[in-house]
A and B are shown apart, each in its own frame.
Chain A
Protein backbone atom coordinates (compact mmCIF):
# COMPACT_ATOMS: atom_id res chain seq x y z
CA UNK A 1 0.00 0.00 0.00
CA UNK A 2 1.20 3.46 -0.79
CA UNK A 3 2.05 5.59 2.14
CA UNK A 4 0.18 8.84 1.89
CA UNK A 5 1.30 12.07 3.37
CA UNK A 6 -0.96 14.02 5.69
CA UNK A 7 -0.05 17.15 3.72
CA UNK A 8 -0.44 15.98 0.15
CA UNK A 9 -0.82 19.32 -1.59
CA UNK A 10 2.53 20.52 -0.48
CA UNK A 11 5.23 19.36 -2.79
CA UNK A 12 8.66 19.10 -1.28
CA UNK A 13 11.49 20.90 -2.93
CA UNK A 14 15.23 21.22 -2.99
CA UNK A 15 16.12 17.63 -2.26
CA UNK A 16 16.33 15.75 0.98
CA UNK A 17 17.68 17.32 4.11
CA UNK A 18 21.06 15.85 5.00
CA UNK A 19 21.65 16.18 8.70
CA UNK A 20 25.30 16.62 9.54
CA UNK A 21 27.06 17.65 12.71
CA UNK A 22 27.09 21.23 11.49
CA UNK A 23 23.37 21.60 11.06
CA UNK A 24 21.21 22.51 13.92
CA UNK A 25 17.55 23.16 14.61
CA UNK A 26 16.87 25.53 17.48
CA UNK A 27 13.26 25.81 18.59
CA UNK A 28 11.95 28.78 20.55
CA UNK A 29 9.04 27.95 22.83
CA UNK A 30 7.24 29.16 25.96
CA UNK A 31 4.34 28.08 28.09
CA UNK A 32 2.91 31.57 28.35
CA UNK A 33 2.08 33.65 25.31
CA UNK A 34 3.60 37.05 24.68
CA UNK A 35 6.88 36.41 26.50
CA UNK A 36 9.09 37.21 23.52
CA UNK A 37 9.46 34.04 21.44
CA UNK A 38 9.37 35.92 18.17
CA UNK A 39 11.81 38.56 19.45
CA UNK A 40 14.30 35.83 20.34
CA UNK A 41 13.69 33.76 17.20
CA UNK A 42 14.00 36.59 14.69
CA UNK A 43 17.05 38.13 16.35
CA UNK A 44 18.79 34.74 16.52
CA UNK A 45 18.12 34.19 12.83
CA UNK A 46 19.49 37.65 12.13
CA UNK A 47 22.76 37.26 14.07
CA UNK A 48 23.31 33.80 12.62
CA UNK A 49 22.95 35.13 9.08
CA UNK A 50 25.21 38.10 9.84
CA UNK A 51 27.83 35.63 10.88
CA UNK A 52 27.74 34.10 7.43
CA UNK A 53 25.89 30.95 8.42
CA UNK A 54 23.12 29.72 6.16
CA UNK A 55 19.92 30.22 8.09
CA UNK A 56 16.30 29.14 7.82
CA UNK A 57 13.50 30.64 9.87
CA UNK A 58 10.30 28.59 10.20
CA UNK A 59 7.28 30.31 11.72
CA UNK A 60 5.32 27.42 13.25
CA UNK A 61 2.94 29.68 15.19
CA UNK A 62 0.47 29.16 12.38
CA UNK A 63 -2.47 30.56 14.36
CA UNK A 64 -0.81 33.91 14.97
CA UNK A 65 2.48 34.11 13.04
CA UNK A 66 4.43 37.34 13.50
CA UNK A 67 7.99 36.65 12.35
CA UNK A 68 7.35 38.23 8.95
CA UNK A 69 6.73 41.58 10.64
CA UNK A 70 10.37 41.68 11.76
CA UNK A 71 12.14 39.79 8.97
CA UNK A 72 10.08 41.29 6.11
CA UNK A 73 10.55 38.45 3.68
CA UNK A 74 9.87 38.51 -0.03
CA UNK A 75 7.35 35.71 -0.39
CA UNK A 76 7.96 33.84 -3.62
CA UNK A 77 5.83 30.75 -3.21
CA UNK A 78 2.51 30.03 -1.61
CA UNK A 79 1.17 26.52 -1.35
CA UNK A 80 -2.05 25.16 0.00
CA UNK A 81 -1.90 22.68 2.86
CA UNK A 82 -4.59 20.08 2.69
CA UNK A 83 -5.92 17.53 5.09
CA UNK A 84 -7.17 14.23 3.67
CA UNK A 85 -10.84 13.83 4.47
CA UNK A 86 -13.27 11.12 3.44
CA UNK A 87 -15.77 11.48 0.64
CA UNK A 88 -18.54 8.88 0.61
CA UNK A 89 -19.96 7.37 -2.54
CA UNK A 90 -23.54 6.93 -1.39
CA UNK A 91 -24.30 4.56 -4.29
CA UNK A 92 -21.77 2.10 -2.96
CA UNK A 93 -22.34 2.66 0.75
CA UNK A 94 -24.32 -0.14 2.40
CA UNK A 95 -24.69 1.73 5.71
CA UNK A 96 -22.64 -0.87 7.61
CA UNK A 97 -21.36 1.87 9.92
CA UNK A 98 -17.78 0.61 10.26
CA UNK A 99 -16.36 4.00 9.27
CA UNK A 100 -18.11 5.57 12.24
CA UNK A 101 -16.86 2.83 14.56
CA UNK A 102 -13.18 3.26 13.69
CA UNK A 103 -13.25 7.08 13.71
CA UNK A 104 -12.01 8.40 17.06
CA UNK A 105 -12.85 12.01 16.24
CA UNK A 106 -16.58 11.76 15.41
CA UNK A 107 -15.70 13.06 11.96
CA UNK A 108 -17.75 10.41 10.15
CA UNK A 109 -20.89 8.76 11.46
CA UNK A 110 -23.88 6.75 10.38
CA UNK A 111 -26.83 8.96 11.18
CA UNK A 112 -30.18 7.37 10.36
CA UNK A 113 -30.00 6.27 6.73
CA UNK A 114 -26.93 8.25 5.78
CA UNK A 115 -23.24 8.50 6.48
CA UNK A 116 -22.35 12.07 7.39
CA UNK A 117 -18.86 13.58 7.28
CA UNK A 118 -17.73 16.46 9.51
CA UNK A 119 -14.54 17.39 7.69
CA UNK A 120 -13.23 19.97 10.18
CA UNK A 121 -13.08 17.27 12.88
CA UNK A 122 -11.14 14.85 10.67
CA UNK A 123 -7.49 14.23 11.54
CA UNK A 124 -6.80 12.52 8.22
CA UNK A 125 -5.78 9.18 9.72
CA UNK A 126 -7.28 7.19 6.85
CA UNK A 127 -9.05 4.71 9.15
CA UNK A 128 -12.48 4.96 7.49
CA UNK A 129 -11.00 4.67 4.02
CA UNK A 130 -9.06 1.56 5.04
CA UNK A 131 -11.93 -0.11 6.86
CA UNK A 132 -14.73 0.41 4.33
CA UNK A 133 -15.52 -3.03 2.88
CA UNK A 134 -17.37 -1.53 -0.11
CA UNK A 135 -14.60 0.84 -1.14
CA UNK A 136 -17.21 3.56 -0.92
CA UNK A 137 -14.79 6.05 0.61
CA UNK A 138 -12.21 8.05 -1.23
CA UNK A 139 -9.97 10.59 0.40
CA UNK A 140 -9.96 14.11 -0.89
CA UNK A 141 -7.69 16.90 0.13
CA UNK A 142 -9.43 19.74 1.89
CA UNK A 143 -7.48 23.02 2.23
CA UNK A 144 -6.92 24.05 5.85
CA UNK A 145 -4.06 26.51 5.48
CA UNK A 146 -1.13 27.73 3.43
CA UNK A 147 2.64 27.65 3.63
CA UNK A 148 4.50 30.67 2.33
CA UNK A 149 8.17 30.55 1.51
CA UNK A 150 10.60 33.20 0.49
CA UNK A 151 13.74 35.05 1.34
CA UNK A 152 14.47 37.68 4.00
CA UNK A 153 17.88 38.99 3.03
CA UNK A 154 20.00 35.87 3.24
CA UNK A 155 17.54 34.16 5.60
CA UNK A 156 15.37 31.48 4.05
CA UNK A 157 11.89 32.09 5.36
CA UNK A 158 8.79 29.92 5.71
CA UNK A 159 5.60 30.40 7.61
CA UNK A 160 2.31 28.59 7.93
CA UNK A 161 -1.10 30.19 8.16
CA UNK A 162 -4.04 28.24 9.47
CA UNK A 163 -7.24 29.21 7.69
CA UNK A 164 -9.63 31.13 9.92
CA UNK A 165 -12.28 28.79 11.35
CA UNK A 166 -10.11 25.67 11.07
CA UNK A 167 -9.41 24.06 14.45
CA UNK A 168 -6.43 21.85 13.64
CA UNK A 169 -3.03 23.45 13.28
CA UNK A 170 -0.67 20.41 13.44
CA UNK A 171 -0.98 19.49 9.73
CA UNK A 172 -0.03 23.06 8.78
CA UNK A 173 2.91 22.96 11.21
CA UNK A 174 4.05 19.65 9.70
CA UNK A 175 3.91 21.25 6.28
CA UNK A 176 6.06 24.21 7.40
CA UNK A 177 8.61 21.82 8.83
CA UNK A 178 8.56 19.77 5.64
CA UNK A 179 9.90 22.70 3.61
CA UNK A 180 13.40 21.64 2.65
CA UNK A 181 15.85 24.41 3.19
CA UNK A 182 19.58 23.93 3.07
CA UNK A 183 20.61 25.60 6.30
CA UNK A 184 23.25 25.29 8.96
CA UNK A 185 20.97 26.91 11.51
CA UNK A 186 17.20 26.45 11.42
CA UNK A 187 15.25 28.60 13.86
CA UNK A 188 11.77 27.33 14.71
CA UNK A 189 9.32 29.86 16.16
CA UNK A 190 6.79 27.71 18.07
CA UNK A 191 3.30 28.63 19.26
CA UNK A 192 2.68 29.19 22.99
CA UNK A 193 1.41 26.46 25.30
CA UNK A 194 2.31 22.83 25.94
CA UNK A 195 -0.15 20.84 23.83
CA UNK A 196 -0.17 19.24 20.40
CA UNK A 197 0.78 22.23 18.20
CA UNK A 198 3.83 22.90 20.37
CA UNK A 199 4.89 19.24 20.41
CA UNK A 200 4.57 19.16 16.64
CA UNK A 201 6.78 22.26 16.34
CA UNK A 202 9.45 20.90 18.68
CA UNK A 203 9.74 17.42 17.19
CA UNK A 204 13.20 16.89 15.76
CA UNK A 205 14.71 20.04 17.28
CA UNK A 206 18.27 19.76 18.58
CA UNK A 207 17.85 22.42 21.23
CA UNK A 208 14.95 24.34 22.77
CA UNK A 209 15.05 27.85 24.16
CA UNK A 210 12.24 28.48 26.63
CA UNK A 211 11.42 32.17 26.83
CA UNK A 212 9.80 33.43 30.00
CA UNK A 213 9.11 36.66 31.84
CA UNK A 214 9.65 37.30 35.55
CA UNK A 215 6.01 37.37 36.63
CA UNK A 216 4.01 34.76 38.55
CA UNK A 217 2.21 33.82 35.32
CA UNK A 218 5.52 33.58 33.49
CA UNK A 219 7.04 31.34 36.13
CA UNK A 220 3.99 29.10 36.42
CA UNK A 221 3.93 28.51 32.68
CA UNK A 222 7.72 28.08 32.55
CA UNK A 223 7.37 25.16 34.97
CA UNK A 224 4.89 23.55 32.58
CA UNK A 225 7.20 24.18 29.64
CA UNK A 226 10.16 22.63 31.48
CA UNK A 227 8.04 19.57 32.21
CA UNK A 228 7.16 19.42 28.52
CA UNK A 229 10.71 19.58 27.11
CA UNK A 230 11.81 17.03 29.70
CA UNK A 231 9.02 14.69 28.57
CA UNK A 232 10.26 15.18 25.02
CA UNK A 233 13.84 14.51 26.19
CA UNK A 234 15.15 17.59 24.43
CA UNK A 235 18.11 19.63 25.65
CA UNK A 236 17.06 23.14 26.57
CA UNK A 237 17.89 26.42 28.26
CA UNK A 238 15.93 29.41 29.50
CA UNK A 239 15.83 33.02 28.35
CA UNK A 240 14.35 35.55 30.76
CA UNK A 241 12.80 38.44 28.88
CA UNK A 242 11.95 41.83 30.44
CA UNK A 243 14.29 40.86 33.26
CA UNK A 244 14.12 42.97 36.40
CA UNK A 245 14.73 42.50 40.09
CA UNK A 246 11.45 40.57 40.17
CA UNK A 247 13.23 37.70 38.46
CA UNK A 248 14.39 36.14 41.71
CA UNK A 249 11.76 33.38 41.94
CA UNK A 250 12.43 32.46 38.29
CA UNK A 251 16.17 32.32 38.90
CA UNK A 252 15.77 30.20 42.04
CA UNK A 253 13.48 27.83 40.18
CA UNK A 254 16.06 27.41 37.41
CA UNK A 255 18.83 26.93 39.94
CA UNK A 256 16.86 24.31 41.90
CA UNK A 257 16.01 22.49 38.70
CA UNK A 258 19.56 22.80 37.33
CA UNK A 259 18.28 24.60 34.26
CA UNK A 260 20.70 27.02 32.63
CA UNK A 261 19.60 30.62 32.13
CA UNK A 262 21.28 31.43 28.84
CA UNK A 263 20.29 35.07 28.58
CA UNK A 264 18.45 37.81 30.40
CA UNK A 265 17.03 40.45 28.12
CA UNK A 266 16.50 43.67 30.07
CA UNK A 267 13.11 45.33 30.52
CA UNK A 268 13.95 48.08 28.06
CA UNK A 269 11.40 50.62 26.88
CA UNK A 270 13.42 51.20 23.67
CA UNK A 271 13.22 47.50 22.88
CA UNK A 272 9.45 47.45 23.53
CA UNK A 273 8.96 50.42 21.20
CA UNK A 274 11.08 48.83 18.48
CA UNK A 275 9.06 45.64 18.84
CA UNK A 276 5.83 47.64 18.53
CA UNK A 277 7.04 49.07 15.21
CA UNK A 278 8.32 45.74 13.93
CA UNK A 279 12.03 46.58 14.22
CA UNK A 280 14.63 43.97 15.17
CA UNK A 281 16.55 44.70 18.36
CA UNK A 282 19.79 43.78 16.58
CA UNK A 283 19.04 46.33 13.91
CA UNK A 284 19.35 49.29 16.24
CA UNK A 285 21.65 48.23 19.03
CA UNK A 286 25.15 46.78 19.27
CA UNK A 287 24.34 45.67 22.78
CA UNK A 288 21.57 43.36 21.56
CA UNK A 289 23.68 42.13 18.64
CA UNK A 290 26.31 41.01 21.13
CA UNK A 291 23.74 39.50 23.46
CA UNK A 292 21.96 37.49 20.77
CA UNK A 293 25.30 36.38 19.32
CA UNK A 294 26.21 34.96 22.70
CA UNK A 295 22.84 33.32 23.01
CA UNK A 296 23.29 31.72 19.60
CA UNK A 297 26.65 30.35 20.73
CA UNK A 298 25.19 28.85 23.93
CA UNK A 299 22.37 27.25 21.98
CA UNK A 300 24.78 25.80 19.43
CA UNK A 301 27.33 24.51 21.95
CA UNK A 302 26.42 20.85 22.25
CA UNK A 303 25.84 19.07 25.51
CA UNK A 304 25.85 22.24 27.50
CA UNK A 305 22.48 21.88 29.08
CA UNK A 306 20.59 19.23 30.91
CA UNK A 307 17.55 17.46 29.58
Chain B
Protein backbone atom coordinates (compact mmCIF):
# COMPACT_ATOMS: atom_id res chain seq x y z
CA UNK B 1 0.00 0.00 0.00
CA UNK B 2 1.17 3.51 -0.79
CA UNK B 3 0.79 6.52 1.43
CA UNK B 4 1.25 9.86 -0.27
CA UNK B 5 1.40 12.95 1.95
CA UNK B 6 0.86 16.50 0.73
CA UNK B 7 2.54 18.93 3.08
CA UNK B 8 3.93 22.45 3.37
CA UNK B 9 5.81 24.43 5.95
CA UNK B 10 3.78 27.55 5.28
CA UNK B 11 0.02 27.47 5.65
CA UNK B 12 -2.38 28.38 2.88
CA UNK B 13 -0.23 27.23 -0.03
CA UNK B 14 -2.97 25.03 -1.51
CA UNK B 15 -2.47 21.59 0.04
CA UNK B 16 -6.15 20.79 0.42
CA UNK B 17 -7.13 21.91 -3.10
CA UNK B 18 -4.35 19.73 -4.51
CA UNK B 19 -5.26 16.74 -2.33
CA UNK B 20 -8.90 16.87 -3.45
CA UNK B 21 -7.83 16.97 -7.09
CA UNK B 22 -5.36 14.11 -6.57
CA UNK B 23 -8.13 12.05 -4.93
CA UNK B 24 -10.32 12.60 -8.00
CA UNK B 25 -7.50 11.84 -10.45
CA UNK B 26 -6.41 8.71 -8.60
CA UNK B 27 -9.76 7.05 -9.12
CA UNK B 28 -10.80 5.25 -5.97
CA UNK B 29 -8.38 5.80 -3.12
CA UNK B 30 -8.59 6.61 0.59
CA UNK B 31 -8.35 10.28 1.53
CA UNK B 32 -7.03 10.99 5.03
CA UNK B 33 -7.39 14.53 6.34
CA UNK B 34 -4.61 14.84 8.89
CA UNK B 35 -4.97 18.59 9.36
CA UNK B 36 -7.18 17.76 12.33
CA UNK B 37 -6.82 21.24 13.75
CA UNK B 38 -8.36 23.15 10.84
CA UNK B 39 -9.56 20.46 8.47
CA UNK B 40 -11.11 21.62 5.20
CA UNK B 41 -10.98 18.62 2.87
CA UNK B 42 -14.57 17.69 3.78
CA UNK B 43 -15.69 20.99 2.26
CA UNK B 44 -14.63 19.69 -1.17
CA UNK B 45 -15.29 15.96 -0.94
CA UNK B 46 -18.65 16.12 0.90
CA UNK B 47 -18.20 12.97 2.95
CA UNK B 48 -21.19 10.93 4.07
CA UNK B 49 -20.26 9.84 7.58
CA UNK B 50 -20.59 6.08 8.10
CA UNK B 51 -18.86 5.78 11.43
CA UNK B 52 -18.11 8.27 14.18
CA UNK B 53 -15.86 7.67 17.20
CA UNK B 54 -14.79 9.73 20.17
CA UNK B 55 -11.12 10.43 20.64
CA UNK B 56 -9.37 10.97 23.93
CA UNK B 57 -5.95 12.52 23.68
CA UNK B 58 -5.32 12.15 27.38
CA UNK B 59 -6.63 13.02 30.79
CA UNK B 60 -7.29 16.34 32.41
CA UNK B 61 -7.01 17.47 36.00
CA UNK B 62 -9.96 19.02 37.86
CA UNK B 63 -9.85 20.12 41.46
CA UNK B 64 -12.95 19.24 43.50
CA UNK B 65 -13.58 22.46 45.43
CA UNK B 66 -15.25 20.61 48.32
CA UNK B 67 -12.10 18.56 48.98
CA UNK B 68 -9.41 21.19 48.47
CA UNK B 69 -7.62 22.41 51.60
CA UNK B 70 -5.74 25.11 49.72
CA UNK B 71 -2.34 23.64 50.64
CA UNK B 72 -0.92 24.80 47.32
CA UNK B 73 1.02 21.66 46.50
CA UNK B 74 -0.59 21.44 43.05
CA UNK B 75 0.38 24.98 42.17
CA UNK B 76 3.91 24.37 43.37
CA UNK B 77 4.33 21.24 41.24
CA UNK B 78 2.62 22.37 38.05
CA UNK B 79 5.16 23.35 35.41
CA UNK B 80 2.57 24.66 32.99
CA UNK B 81 1.15 27.54 35.04
CA UNK B 82 -2.22 25.85 34.89
CA UNK B 83 -3.17 26.11 38.59
CA UNK B 84 -4.77 29.28 39.89
CA UNK B 85 -5.74 30.29 43.42
CA UNK B 86 -9.17 31.59 42.55
CA UNK B 87 -11.51 28.63 43.04
CA UNK B 88 -14.65 28.87 45.17
CA UNK B 89 -14.38 28.62 48.94
CA UNK B 90 -15.71 25.75 51.02
CA UNK B 91 -16.45 25.23 54.72
CA UNK B 92 -12.73 25.09 55.60
CA UNK B 93 -11.03 27.61 53.35
CA UNK B 94 -12.27 30.85 51.81
CA UNK B 95 -10.59 30.12 48.46
CA UNK B 96 -9.52 26.94 46.70
CA UNK B 97 -7.19 26.14 43.82
CA UNK B 98 -8.48 25.68 40.31
CA UNK B 99 -7.01 24.12 37.15
CA UNK B 100 -7.33 26.10 33.95
CA UNK B 101 -8.33 23.43 31.40
CA UNK B 102 -6.85 25.51 28.58
CA UNK B 103 -3.42 25.46 30.17
CA UNK B 104 -3.45 21.94 31.64
CA UNK B 105 -1.12 19.59 29.73
CA UNK B 106 -2.65 16.52 31.32
CA UNK B 107 0.53 15.33 33.05
CA UNK B 108 -1.37 14.27 36.19
CA UNK B 109 1.40 15.30 38.58
CA UNK B 110 -0.94 17.48 40.66
CA UNK B 111 -3.49 14.67 41.05
CA UNK B 112 -0.83 12.11 41.93
CA UNK B 113 0.70 14.20 44.68
CA UNK B 114 -2.46 15.77 46.14
CA UNK B 115 -2.58 14.52 49.71
CA UNK B 116 -6.32 15.20 50.02
CA UNK B 117 -7.09 13.24 46.82
CA UNK B 118 -8.98 16.36 45.83
CA UNK B 119 -8.02 16.23 42.16
CA UNK B 120 -9.93 14.27 39.56
CA UNK B 121 -7.77 13.00 36.73
CA UNK B 122 -9.77 11.22 34.10
CA UNK B 123 -9.73 10.81 30.33
CA UNK B 124 -11.29 13.72 28.50
CA UNK B 125 -12.96 13.46 25.12
CA UNK B 126 -10.90 15.80 23.02
CA UNK B 127 -12.19 15.12 19.56
CA UNK B 128 -13.96 12.85 17.12
CA UNK B 129 -12.90 10.92 14.09
CA UNK B 130 -14.97 9.71 11.19
CA UNK B 131 -14.92 7.10 8.47
CA UNK B 132 -16.92 8.38 5.52
CA UNK B 133 -17.70 7.67 1.90
CA UNK B 134 -17.11 10.26 -0.80
CA UNK B 135 -17.46 10.24 -4.59
CA UNK B 136 -13.71 9.47 -4.81
CA UNK B 137 -13.71 6.65 -2.30
CA UNK B 138 -13.52 6.36 1.47
CA UNK B 139 -12.32 9.23 3.60
CA UNK B 140 -11.04 9.26 7.17
CA UNK B 141 -11.11 12.60 8.93
CA UNK B 142 -11.30 14.07 12.39
CA UNK B 143 -12.22 17.06 14.40
CA UNK B 144 -10.03 18.03 17.33
CA UNK B 145 -11.83 19.92 20.05
CA UNK B 146 -10.89 23.57 20.47
CA UNK B 147 -7.68 24.08 22.40
CA UNK B 148 -7.00 20.37 22.71
CA UNK B 149 -3.70 18.60 23.07
CA UNK B 150 -2.29 15.66 21.26
CA UNK B 151 -2.99 16.41 17.67
CA UNK B 152 -0.22 13.94 16.84
CA UNK B 153 -2.09 11.10 18.49
CA UNK B 154 -5.29 11.92 16.60
CA UNK B 155 -3.36 12.10 13.32
CA UNK B 156 -1.97 8.67 14.13
CA UNK B 157 -5.52 7.35 14.64
CA UNK B 158 -6.66 8.84 11.31
CA UNK B 159 -3.73 7.28 9.45
CA UNK B 160 -4.19 3.88 11.08
CA UNK B 161 -7.90 3.85 10.25
CA UNK B 162 -7.23 5.01 6.69
CA UNK B 163 -4.86 2.09 6.17
CA UNK B 164 -7.41 -0.34 7.64
CA UNK B 165 -10.11 0.94 5.32
CA UNK B 166 -7.74 0.75 2.36
CA UNK B 167 -6.91 -2.87 3.05
CA UNK B 168 -10.56 -3.92 3.59
CA UNK B 169 -11.57 -2.19 0.39
CA UNK B 170 -8.45 -3.41 -1.44
CA UNK B 171 -7.34 0.08 -2.34
CA UNK B 172 -3.63 0.59 -2.58
CA UNK B 173 -3.37 4.33 -2.18
CA UNK B 174 -3.93 6.62 0.81
CA UNK B 175 -3.60 10.35 0.13
CA UNK B 176 -2.87 12.37 3.25
CA UNK B 177 -3.68 16.06 3.64
CA UNK B 178 -1.08 17.29 6.11
CA UNK B 179 -1.08 20.17 8.57
CA UNK B 180 1.14 23.22 8.05
CA UNK B 181 4.35 23.62 10.01
CA UNK B 182 6.95 21.10 11.12
CA UNK B 183 5.68 20.15 14.59
CA UNK B 184 3.84 17.23 16.13
CA UNK B 185 0.85 16.78 13.77
CA UNK B 186 3.12 17.21 10.74
CA UNK B 187 5.60 14.63 11.98
CA UNK B 188 2.73 12.24 12.71
CA UNK B 189 1.34 12.79 9.19
CA UNK B 190 4.55 12.06 7.35
CA UNK B 191 6.59 9.39 9.13
CA UNK B 192 6.85 6.14 7.18
CA UNK B 193 4.83 7.37 4.22
CA UNK B 194 6.13 6.57 0.73
CA UNK B 195 6.31 10.02 -0.79
CA UNK B 196 5.77 13.65 0.16
CA UNK B 197 4.62 16.36 -2.19
CA UNK B 198 5.75 19.65 -0.69
CA UNK B 199 3.56 22.50 -1.90
CA UNK B 200 4.96 25.99 -1.67
CA UNK B 201 4.30 29.47 -3.06
CA UNK B 202 6.64 31.93 -4.78
CA UNK B 203 7.27 34.24 -1.83
CA UNK B 204 10.25 34.67 0.48
CA UNK B 205 8.12 33.14 3.23
CA UNK B 206 7.36 30.19 0.98
CA UNK B 207 11.07 29.77 0.24
CA UNK B 208 12.00 29.97 3.91
CA UNK B 209 9.35 27.48 5.03
CA UNK B 210 10.14 25.09 2.15
CA UNK B 211 13.62 24.85 3.63
CA UNK B 212 12.23 23.92 7.03
CA UNK B 213 9.88 21.23 5.74
CA UNK B 214 12.49 19.83 3.31
CA UNK B 215 14.88 19.50 6.27
CA UNK B 216 12.13 17.65 8.12
CA UNK B 217 11.57 15.22 5.23
CA UNK B 218 15.33 14.63 5.03
CA UNK B 219 15.48 14.14 8.82
CA UNK B 220 13.00 11.26 8.53
CA UNK B 221 14.46 9.95 5.27
CA UNK B 222 11.24 10.57 3.36
CA UNK B 223 11.47 10.98 -0.43
CA UNK B 224 9.89 14.27 -1.47
CA UNK B 225 9.09 16.32 -4.53
CA UNK B 226 8.25 20.01 -4.73
CA UNK B 227 5.40 21.83 -6.46
CA UNK B 228 5.08 25.61 -6.68
CA UNK B 229 1.50 26.81 -6.47
CA UNK B 230 0.45 30.18 -7.98
CA UNK B 231 3.88 30.18 -9.59
CA UNK B 232 3.05 33.02 -11.99
CA UNK B 233 2.40 35.49 -9.15
CA UNK B 234 6.18 35.86 -8.99
CA UNK B 235 8.05 33.95 -11.72
CA UNK B 236 11.55 34.94 -10.53
CA UNK B 237 10.80 33.74 -7.01
CA UNK B 238 9.49 30.49 -8.52
CA UNK B 239 12.85 30.05 -10.27
CA UNK B 240 14.63 30.69 -6.98
CA UNK B 241 12.49 28.18 -5.13
CA UNK B 242 12.96 25.54 -7.80
CA UNK B 243 16.72 26.11 -7.74
CA UNK B 244 16.65 25.76 -3.96
CA UNK B 245 14.67 22.50 -4.27
CA UNK B 246 17.12 21.08 -6.82
CA UNK B 247 20.11 22.08 -4.74
CA UNK B 248 18.60 19.97 -1.98
CA UNK B 249 18.19 17.07 -4.38
CA UNK B 250 14.41 17.43 -4.46
CA UNK B 251 12.81 17.00 -7.90
CA UNK B 252 10.44 19.75 -8.99
CA UNK B 253 7.27 17.89 -9.94
CA UNK B 254 5.32 20.80 -11.33
CA UNK B 255 4.01 24.33 -11.29
CA UNK B 256 0.39 25.32 -10.75
CA UNK B 257 -0.69 28.74 -11.99
CA UNK B 258 -2.80 31.28 -10.11
CA UNK B 259 -6.39 30.68 -11.14
CA UNK B 260 -9.62 32.08 -9.67
CA UNK B 261 -11.23 28.76 -10.70
CA UNK B 262 -9.64 27.18 -7.61
CA UNK B 263 -11.77 29.35 -5.31
CA UNK B 264 -14.77 29.06 -7.63
CA UNK B 265 -14.53 25.27 -7.39
CA UNK B 266 -14.24 25.57 -3.59
CA UNK B 267 -17.44 27.59 -3.48
CA UNK B 268 -19.15 24.81 -5.46
CA UNK B 269 -17.67 22.11 -3.22
CA UNK B 270 -15.72 20.59 -6.07
CA UNK B 271 -12.12 19.71 -6.72
CA UNK B 272 -10.81 22.14 -9.32
CA UNK B 273 -10.15 19.26 -11.77
CA UNK B 274 -13.86 18.43 -11.60
CA UNK B 275 -14.82 22.05 -12.19
CA UNK B 276 -12.72 22.74 -15.26
CA UNK B 277 -10.12 21.20 -17.51
CA UNK B 278 -8.17 24.39 -18.10
CA UNK B 279 -5.74 26.56 -16.17
CA UNK B 280 -4.74 25.39 -12.70
CA UNK B 281 -6.77 22.19 -13.21
CA UNK B 282 -4.62 21.27 -16.23
CA UNK B 283 -1.49 22.05 -14.21
CA UNK B 284 -2.62 19.79 -11.36
CA UNK B 285 -3.34 16.96 -13.82
CA UNK B 286 0.20 17.35 -15.15
CA UNK B 287 1.53 17.41 -11.58
CA UNK B 288 -0.35 14.20 -10.78
CA UNK B 289 1.08 12.51 -13.87
CA UNK B 290 4.55 13.34 -12.50
CA UNK B 291 3.74 12.23 -8.97
CA UNK B 292 1.79 8.99 -9.57
CA UNK B 293 4.62 7.04 -11.23
CA UNK B 294 6.88 7.84 -8.26
CA UNK B 295 4.71 5.76 -5.97
CA UNK B 296 6.35 2.39 -5.54
CA UNK B 297 3.45 0.35 -6.81
CA UNK B 298 1.38 2.57 -9.06
CA UNK B 299 -2.29 2.18 -8.45
CA UNK B 300 -4.09 0.21 -11.15
CA UNK B 301 -6.78 2.87 -10.94
CA UNK B 302 -4.54 5.74 -12.01
CA UNK B 303 -6.30 7.81 -14.62
CA UNK B 304 -3.95 10.14 -16.42
**Are A69 and B208 neighbours in the complex by a CB distance under 8 Å?**
yes
**Are B209 and A66 neighbours in the complex by a CB distance under 8 Å?**
yes
Q: A130-B109, A165-B216, A195-B147 are in contact. Are A216 and B43 (CB under 8 A)?
A: yes
Answer whether residue A81 sits at the interface, using C-beta atoms and an 8 A cutoff.
Answer: no
Q: A63-B182, A64-B9, A165-B219 are in contact. Are A126 and B109 (CB under 8 A)?
A: yes
Q: Tell me the residues in window 140-164 of chain B with beta carbons closer than 8 Å to chain A beta carbons.
A: 144, 146-149, 151-152
A87 to B2 alpha-carbon distance, docked (Å): 38
Answer whether residue A288 sits at the interface, using C-beta atoms and an 8 A cutoff.
Answer: no
Contact among B13, B40, B147, B202 for A276, CB-based, below 8 A = B202
**Are B208 and A66 neighbours in the complex by a CB distance under 8 Å?**
yes
Q: Count of B residues near A, CB < 8 Å?
A: 61
Which residue, A124, A126, A193, A199, has most C-beta atoms of chain B within 10 A? Answer: A193
Contact among B113, B179, B212, B263 for A193, CB-based, below 8 A = B179
**Are B107 and A125 neighbours in the complex by a CB distance under 8 Å?**
yes
A69 to B59 alpha-carbon distance, docked (Å): 40
Q: Tell me the residues in window 209-230 of chain B with beta carbons closer than 8 Å to chain A beta carbons.
A: 209, 212, 215-216, 219-220
Answer whether residue A210 sits at the interface, using C-beta atoms and an 8 A cutoff.
Answer: no
The residues of B that contact A276 with a CB separation of less than 8 Å are 202-204, 233-234, 237
Chain A at the B interface: SS class: loop
Contact among A123, A127, A273 for B234, CB-based, below 8 A = A273
**Are B107 and A127 neighbours in the complex by a CB distance under 8 Å?**
yes
Q: Tell me the residues in window 207-265 of chain A with beta carbons closer than 8 Å to chain B beta carbons.
A: 213, 215-217, 220-221, 224, 227-228, 231-232, 246
The residues of B that contact A199 with a CB separation of less than 8 Å are 102-103, 147
Contact among B76, B144, B212, B267 for A164, CB-based, below 8 A = B212
CB distance from B226 to the nearest CB of A (A): 16
Q: A194-B37, A220-B43 are in contact. Are A69 and B79 (CB under 8 A)?
A: no
Contact among A162, A198, A216, A224 for B267, CB-based, below 8 A = A216
**Are B216 and A164 neighbours in the complex by a CB distance under 8 Å?**
yes
Q: Count of A residues near B, CB < 8 Å?
A: 61
What are 26 A-B residue pairs whose CB atoms fall within 8 Å in the complex? A33-B11, A33-B12, A34-B13, A34-B180, A34-B201, A61-B181, A63-B186, A64-B208, A102-B108, A125-B80, A125-B105, A164-B182, A165-B187, A166-B183, A167-B184, A169-B181, A192-B11, A192-B12, A192-B181, A193-B38, A194-B146, A203-B103, A217-B266, A272-B233, A277-B204, A277-B237
Q: Which residues of B approach A to under 8 Å, CB–CB?
A: 9-13, 16, 37-38, 40, 43, 58-59, 76-77, 79-80, 102-103, 105-109, 112-113, 144, 146-149, 151-152, 179-188, 201-205, 208-209, 212, 215-216, 219-220, 233-234, 237, 263, 266-267, 269
